[in-house]
Structure 1
Amino acid sequence: MEFSTNPDHEALRKAVADICDGFGPQWYVEHAERREPTTQLWETLGKHGYIGINIPEEHGGGGAGLTELAIVVEESAARGTPLLLLLVASAISAEVIATYGSDEQKAHWLPRLADGSGKVVFAITEPDAGSNSHQLSTTASKDGDQWVLTGQKYYISGVDEADAILVVARTGTDEATGRGRLSLFIVDTDAPGLEKTPLPVSVTLPDKQFTLHFDDVRLPADRLVGTEGDGLRQVFRGLNPERITGAALCVGIGRHVLAQASAYANTREVWGTPIGTHQGVSHALAKAKIEVELAALMTARAAWLHDQGMPAGEASNMAKYAAAEAALAATDAAIQTHGGNGLATEYGLLPYWGLARLLRIAPVNREMVLNFVAQNSLGLPRSY
């Protein structure tokens, strides 16, 4: 890793910031309050080549790596316009299809993912499985030259905005372990037999959540991604990038709310001096700043490891943990700095708090990260 300023990365940050500044935090908060997708920003970033910056050039992408995608994610969030679906469409789906997809799948989906004209979201979570992916109950069984998909998924983001869903399903059982053999399928969002039910949440976000019911959804054989039964390994090609971009999103949120809180603390006066003069305010913001910067370093390391083809699971989990904690603490400090105004719609902080709080749970909750580190980094006995 290089710690000196990379001119290309600085130029990328500026270009993304310039686009996002044309929309701004007020625009984002209004969309979040109305639960309306941020489609215009997505399409603008896509038109300039930033949505698919990590997709190979031969498929219309930027040919860069996860490091560059993480910069796009972070910088857009730092300008007050976080894009949650970058974590699924650009990080998970694009990475998985680019790595394991057939030539036909790559030719059909990657150019649309690259220019922002299409989205492929991701469906793994189930009501009764949670973090235990081995116990997924959604099944895909062969029927002649087709697959028949049956089951349920929930908390699936952005289905209303997507053309297709990358679905994880059980296609068999490992006789030795009893665990499910998993496979990946691309399912059109308008496929017959697919029922999409909005799942209301109280978090103020522009992105909607859905419960999905697959009632004997028939898929052509060419909708299988990669190798049958090898889905879990293929999924992890996307889950590490999802953790890394999730961390980048949190770093960006932290940067945005701290910038807003610092500006407020420099101008708001109560006892004849700006409130930022008082250590009760300044120390909380300084502590949050340190934590956000530390998380940014871990996020950069995780992205670098991934791009080098080196094991990135430990770093990805640590980055996601650190960044979510830092973003939540930074947002809380920003709200506290604003006092009662921290809860006012005019100042628009609560949507960022809600998103940071969500990312403390998803895409993997902090407790499962701690389990991972305890077991894999410290060699402690498995606890679950």
Structure 2
Amino acid sequence: MDFKKTEEQELLLEGLSELIARECPEDYVKECYEKHELPTKFNKALIDNGFGLLGIPEEYGGTPCDVLTLMLVAEETARLTGAPFGVGGNALQVDDMLAFGNDEQKKITMDYLMQGRMAFCLGISEPQAGSDNNAIATTATRRDGKVYINGHKTWITDATRSPYMLCVTRDFDSPKPPAQAMSMWWLPTDAPGVKMEPLHKVGHVTSSLSEVYLEDVELEEKDLVGREGNGFFQLMKNFEIERILMAAMSLGLAEAGLEDAAKYANQRVQFGQKIGNFQQIQEKLSFMEIKVQNMKNYVYKTAWEKDNGLDVQLSSSLAKLYCAQAGFEVLDDAMQIMGGLGYMEDCRIARMWKDSRMHRIGGGTDQIMVHIAGRQILKKYSK
């Protein structure tokens, strides 16, 4: 298989580099982190210049592209900004709505997207239901022609900034297994009965995180997203691409960290010589380069498989598992090479180090990736 970039991909990445240099310099990234604000200006610039609309159908104003191109853009955005600013999340949201949403939900999603904003957050995790989705306890009860949502969601990203939540509920009266008794609802986050409390993360501070309490939140039947009882499978639809996307972002951050550390090793003088001359530093850089190249191969190969219609349940899980771990290890070594400077809040290595650690938790923990991959490996060699 040929991983050489096409001329179109080269031109696309060149344009992205120019846009980031103009609209998202390091001073702007630092400002967003200091204020704990989304990079709204940059997101709007991505939309205005077509990058935020990649992977979205033409009829919705977007530009269709293959998964590999989407991952190249996500990787390059993370590498050049040194931040996990999303490119690709828009396509995932629109795909969800195109597949399962009604006309009103689709229109609202696109209207917000064109403003550089996300229309909805995902209401999945609960205090007792993190990796174990089957333990979801939020309910949707019908009475007097209305639907009432009751429950407690936690670790909800950007709930305070999203006008809607895709809220997953479970029907405890259903005789079917939990995975077949879940539904998804289009829930306005400003509705009566919705209460939020902020949570404070170690990294990824430009996005908010919240506890969300739902007490008799009144909805209509039209607020059902997709089919009743099919919520879990709707949720799973885009997980494979999301895992490749997180792997690509981990790769981009690792590349940025390797570059920063190598440049520092070429300049920092100790004991009368540049620290890059010391074998222990060279050893670290060598293994960091190996990990980055392995990550790159894993991301590109998995994206290529997805584009060619191959089953990527195993490879996407392994790509996410390996890249999340290896990416953090590269940034940890980059911090070690930079020493005290790397541990300073003002240094982007420290920022990337904290952000990268989340990739081993969000989107499916390391342990869940092992669980998914392990079953597939056993199945693969069962004959």
Alpha-carbon distance change, 212 to 326 in structure 1, aligned in 2, over 3 angstroms: same
1:313 is matched with: 313
Shift of 1:121: 2.0
SS of 1:360's partner is coil
SS of 1:116's partner is coil
1:129 is matched with: 129
Deviates more, 1:264-273 or 1:28-37: 28-37
Shift of 1:180: 5.7
Partners of 1:47 and 1:147 in 2: CA distance: 39
SS of 2:168's partner is strand
Partners of 2:138 and 2:104 in 1: CA distance: 26
Instruction: Kindly provide the amino acid, as one letter, of the partner of residue 363 in structure 1.
Output: G
Q: Is residue 230 from structure 1 mapped to residue 230 from structure 2 by the alignment?
A: yes
Alpha-carbon distance change, 111 to 16 in structure 1, aligned in 2, over 3 angstroms: farther
Query: 1:198-209 maps to which residues of 2 (within 5 A)?
Result: 198-203=198-203, 205-209=205-209
Query: 1:1-384 maps to which residues of 2 (within 5 A)?
Result: 2-22=2-22, 23-84=24-85, 86=87, 89-90=89-90, 92-113=92-113, 116-143=116-143, 145-172=145-172, 174-177=174-177, 181-203=181-203, 205-379=205-379
Aligned residues: CA RMSD: 2.3
Deviates more, 1:40-49 or 1:17-26: 17-26
SS of 2:51's partner is coil
Alpha-carbon distance change, 277 to 28 in structure 1, aligned in 2, over 3 angstroms: same
Cα-to-partner distance string for 1:74-131 (whole Å, 9 max, x where unaligned): 11110124345556x4254222112222233323313532552443221211110111
Instruction: Kindly provide the amino acid, as one letter, of the partner of residue 116 in structure 2.
Output: G
Unaligned runs of 5+ in 1: none
Alpha-carbon distance change, 282 to 243 in structure 1, aligned in 2, over 3 angstroms: same
Cα-to-partner distance string for 1:121-155 (whole Å, 9 max, x where unaligned): 21211110111111211112333554221111111
Instruction: Kindly provide the amino acid, as one letter, of the partner of residue 33 in structure 1.
Output: E
SS of 1:79's partner is helix
Aligned residues: 380
- Asked if the contact 2:200/2:209 (under 8 Å) is kept, the reply is yes
Alpha-carbon distance change, 289 to 247 in structure 1, aligned in 2, over 3 angstroms: same
Partners of 1:212 and 1:41 in 2: CA distance: 28
Shift of 1:182: 1.2
- Asked if the contact 2:82/2:348 (under 8 Å) is kept, the reply is no
Give the ranges of 4+ consecutive aligned residues of structure 1 lying more than 6 Å apart after TM superposition: none
Partners of 2:112 and 2:178 in 1: CA distance: 38
SS of 2:96's partner is helix
Cα-to-partner distance string for 1:142-187 (whole Å, 9 max, x where unaligned): 3355422111111111223323222222145552545561112222
Shift of 1:298: 1.7
Alpha-carbon distance change, 139 to 302 in structure 1, aligned in 2, over 3 angstroms: farther
Cα-to-partner distance string for 1:235-275 (whole Å, 9 max, x where unaligned): 11122222121111101100111111111111111133321
Instruction: Kindly provide the amino acid, as one letter, of the partner of residue 113 in structure 1.
Output: L
Instruction: Kindly provide the amino acid, as one letter, of the partner of residue 340 in structure 2.
Output: G
SS of 1:215's partner is strand
- Asked if the contact 1:51/1:115 (under 8 Å) is kept, the reply is no
Shift of 1:67: 2.8
Partners of 2:135 and 2:180 in 1: CA distance: 6
Partners of 2:2 and 2:192 in 1: CA distance: 50
Same amino acid, percent of matched pairs = 27
- Asked if the contact 1:93/1:166 (under 8 Å) is kept, the reply is no
Deviates more, 1:207-216 or 1:99-108: 99-108
Under a length normalisation based on structure 2, what TM-score does the superposition of the two structures give? 0.91
- Asked if the contact 1:97/1:105 (under 8 Å) is kept, the reply is yes
- Asked if the contact 2:181/2:229 (under 8 Å) is kept, the reply is yes
- Asked if the contact 1:70/1:248 (under 8 Å) is kept, the reply is yes
Shift of 1:204: 5.9
Deviates more, 1:277-286 or 1:109-118: 109-118
- Asked if the contact 1:59/1:111 (under 8 Å) is kept, the reply is no
SS of 1:229's partner is coil
SS of 1:71's partner is helix
Shift of 1:287: 1.1
Deviates more, 1:331-340 or 1:144-153: 144-153
- Asked if the contact 1:184/1:225 (under 8 Å) is kept, the reply is yes
Instruction: Kindly provide the amino acid, as one letter, of the partner of residue 49 in structure 1.
Output: G
- Asked if the contact 2:180/2:230 (under 8 Å) is kept, the reply is no
